[in-house]
Amino acid sequence: MDHDDFLEFARRLGVHIASDHLIADGRIHRADVDADRSGKNDAAYLLREDGSGWVTNFKASGKPEYFRRGEQKDLTPEELAALAAQREARQAEQIERNRLAVVDSVEQWEASREPKDFPYLCEPRLDPAGLRQCRGRLLVPVLRFDQGGELGWAGMQRIEPAPAGTSPEKRFVPGTATSGSFAVIPIQGSGVESPLDSFDAVRNAPRVVFCEGVGTALAIHQATGLPVIAALSAQNLPEVARALHDKLRGQVVVYADNDGERAGYKGQVYAVRTARVMGSARTRIALPERAGGMTPPGYDARDQLRDGPPGAIAATIEKALRAEQLERRIPERFRESTSKSTPSVKSENEFVRSPTGAAEFGEIGQTVAKVIGRQAGLIRLRRRDLEHIEQRHGSEIRMVGFRDAAEFVASTLDRGNAIYQGTRGALIVSDQNSRPNRAAVLVLQPAVDAGGDYYAVTTALPVRPMYLHNKKLLLSRDGPITRRSRGNEPFSPGRGAAPTIEQAESANKRSLHEEGAQQFHSRPASHREAAMGAAGPTPDQEKRRMEPSQETPSQELARTTAAFNRESDPQKRQELRERIEALRAQIKQAQPQDRTPPAGAREASPPQTPDNGQAAPAPAEPPRAEGAQPDPFAEMNRAAEDVQKTPPVAAQAVAGETPEEKLLRQYREATAPQREARAKALRELDGQHREEQGALFDALGQLRLEKERELAPMAEEHRKSLIALEVAKRVEALHKTQAGKRKDLAARLLPVPSLRNFLEARAGSDPVAARMLEEEVRRGPQAESIRGRRTGEHEPVTLEGLTWEVDTSDPKAKAVHYARDGERVMSDRGERLDLYKVEDREIEAALRLAEQKYDMEAGLVLTGSREFQSRAAEIAGRIGVKVRNEELQAAWQAGRQQAMQEEGQGEERHLPAGGIEPGRSSAPDLDKASQQHLLAEGVLARLQPAAWSALEKAGQRQALSPQERELLQRDSHADLVDGEDRLTPLGEVVHARMQARIEAEREQFQQQLRGRNVDEEMERRKREEAAHGKAEVSSERRQERIDEQETSVESELARIYAAHGLSVVKNGDLAAAGAELDSASADAWVVAQDTSRPESTELARRLPESFESEQDFVAAIRAEEERQIESPQRAPMRARSRDPEVDR
What's the mean pLDDT when you consider all of the chain?
70
Q: Among residues 269, 303, 338, which one ends one of the domains?
A: 338
pLDDT score of 928 more than 80 = no
Side-chain-facing half-sphere of 454: CA atoms under 13 Å: 18
| Residue-level pLDDT at 858 | 74
Same structural domain, 489 and 399: yes
| Residue-level pLDDT at 210 | 94
pLDDT score of 208 more than 90 = yes
Average pLDDT over residues 901-912: 45
Report the candidate in 1129, 1049, 1055, 1128 with the shortest Cα–Cα distance to residue 1093.
1049
Give domain status of residue 97, yes or no: no
Q: Which residue has the higher pLDDT, 65 or 999?
A: 65
CB 56 within 8 A of CB 43: yes
Same structural domain, 392 and 308: no
Give domain status of residue 595, yes or no: no
Q: Which residue has the higher pLDDT, 940 or 766?
A: 766
Q: At what angle do helices 553-566 and 570-590 cross, to 10 degrees?
A: 160
How sure is the predictor about 496, in pLDDT bands with cuts at 50, 70 and 90?
very low
Question: DSSP assignment of 877-924, as one string?
Answer: HHHT--B--GGGHHHHHHHHHHHHHHHHTT------GGG-STT--PPP
Neighbours of 200 (CB within 10 A): 12
Q: What share of the chain in percent tops pLDDT 90? A: 4
| Residue-level pLDDT at 1043 | 67
Cα–Cα distance measured from residue 937 to residue 81, given in angstroms and rounded to the nearest whole number: 64
Highest mean pLDDT among 205-214, 552-561, 613-622: 205-214
Same structural domain, 407 and 525: yes
Cα–Cα distance measured from residue 1005 to residue 318, given in angstroms and rounded to the nearest whole number: 9
Q: Which residue has the higher pLDDT, 106 or 79?
A: 106
Q: Among residues 74, 98, 123, which one ends one of the domains?
A: 74
Give pLDDT tens digits for 1033-1050: 666 777 776 766 666 656
User: In 3-state terms, what secondary structure has residue 475?
Assistant: strand
Side-chain-facing half-sphere of 198: CA atoms under 13 Å: 26
Give domain status of residue 612, yes or no: no
Give pLDDT tens digits for 957-1016: 788 888 787 777 764 556 788 777 788 877 888 888 788 777 776 666 555 555 545 556
Give pLDDT tens digits for 243-291: 888 788 888 999 999 888 777 888 888 998 888 888 877 889 999 888 7
Give domain status of residue 724, yes or no: no
User: In 3-state terms, what secondary structure has residue 623?
Assistant: coil
Cα–Cα distance measured from residue 811 to residue 387, given in angstroms and rounded to the nearest whole number: 57
Same structural domain, 320 and 359: no
| Residue-level pLDDT at 217 | 92
pLDDT score of 624 more than 70 = no
H/E stretch holding 143:
strand 137-145
Q: Among residues 1010, 1036, 1064, which one ends one of the domains?
A: 1010
Q: Which residue has the higher pLDDT, 307 or 231?
A: 231
DSSP state of 968: T
Cα–Cα distance measured from residue 1034 to residue 1053, given in angstroms and rounded to the nearest whole number: 29
Question: DSSP assignment of 729-756, as one string?
Answer: HHHHHHHHHHHHHHHHHHHHSPPPPPHH
Q: Which residue has the higher pLDDT, 969 or 953?
A: 953
pLDDT score of 593 more than 60 = no
Average pLDDT over residues 400-408: 82
Average pLDDT over residues 168-190: 88
Q: At what angle do helices 889-904 and 931-942 cross, to 10 degrees?
A: 120
Question: Which residues share a beta bridge with 184?
Answer: 229
pTM given for the model? 0.35
Same structural domain, 912 and 970: no
Question: DSSP assignment of 778-816, as one string?
Answer: HH----EEEE--B-S-S-----TT-EEEEE-S-GGG-EE
| Residue-level pLDDT at 1081 | 60
β pairing state of 151-159 and 183-185: unpaired
Give domain status of residue 190, yes or no: no
Same structural domain, 362 and 444: yes
Q: At what angle do helices 889-904 and 866-879 cross, to 10 degrees?
A: 40
| Residue-level pLDDT at 37 | 40
What domain range is 870 assigned to?
A: 781-918
CB 1138 within 8 A of CB 1108: yes
Average pLDDT over residues 471-480: 81
Same structural domain, 378 and 518: yes
Give pLDDT tens digits for 681-697: 877 887 787 778 777 77
pLDDT score of 602 more than 90 = no
Q: At what angle do helices 716-748 and 659-710 cross, to 10 degrees?
A: 150
| Residue-level pLDDT at 327 | 83
| Residue-level pLDDT at 253 | 93
Q: Which residue has the higher pLDDT, 437 or 950?
A: 950
The tally of domains found in the chain comes to: 6
Average pLDDT over residues 408-427: 83
CB 907 within 8 A of CB 921: no
Same structural domain, 272 and 380: no
How sure is the predictor about 1070, in pLDDT bands with cuts at 50, 70 and 90?
very low
| Residue-level pLDDT at 165 | 63
CB 1060 within 8 A of CB 1081: no
Give pLDDT tens digits for 108-158: 898 888 888 788 888 788 888 889 988 888 999 999 988 778 889 999 999
Task: Find the CATH number of the domain harbouring 211.
Answer: 3.40.1360.10
Q: Which residue has the higher pLDDT, 1090 or 1036?
A: 1036
How sure is the predictor about 524, in pLDDT bands with cuts at 50, 70 and 90?
very low
* CA 260 and chain centroid, separation: 14
Amino acid, single-letter form, for residue 27: R
Q: What share of the chain in percent tops pLDDT 70? A: 64
| Residue-level pLDDT at 916 | 31
How sure is the predictor about 929, in pLDDT bands with cuts at 50, 70 and 90?
very low
| Residue-level pLDDT at 995 | 80
Give pLDDT tens digits for 457-470: 888 888 776 677 77
CB 115 within 8 A of CB 131: yes
Lowest mean pLDDT segment, chosen from 17-21, 373-377, 1080-1084: 1080-1084
Amino acid, single-letter form, for residue 44: A
How sure is the predictor about 374, in pLDDT bands with cuts at 50, 70 and 90?
confident
Give pLDDT tens digits for 546-590: 444 456 776 677 677 767 766 667 777 778 878 887 887 777 676
pLDDT score of 651 more than 90 = no
| Residue-level pLDDT at 1032 | 66
Give domain status of residue 166, yes or no: no
Give domain status of residue 32, yes or no: yes
| Residue-level pLDDT at 907 | 39
H/E stretch holding 441:
strand 438-449
CA distances (Å), origin 643, targets 585, 648, 712: 22, 9, 64
Same structural domain, 372 and 516: yes
Give domain status of residue 982, yes or no: yes
User: In 3-state terms, what secondary structure has residue 14?
Assistant: coil
β pairing state of 823-828 and 832-835: antiparallel
Question: Which residues share a beta bridge with 211?
Answer: 230
CA distances (Å), origin 93, targets 26, 81, 87, 100: 14, 18, 10, 11
Same structural domain, 330 and 368: no
Same structural domain, 385 and 284: no
How sure is the predictor about 495, in pLDDT bands with cuts at 50, 70 and 90?
very low
Same structural domain, 527 and 400: yes
Give pLDDT tens digits for 840-884: 888 888 888 887 777 777 788 888 887 788 888 888 888 878 888
How sure is the predictor about 182, in pLDDT bands with cuts at 50, 70 and 90?
very high
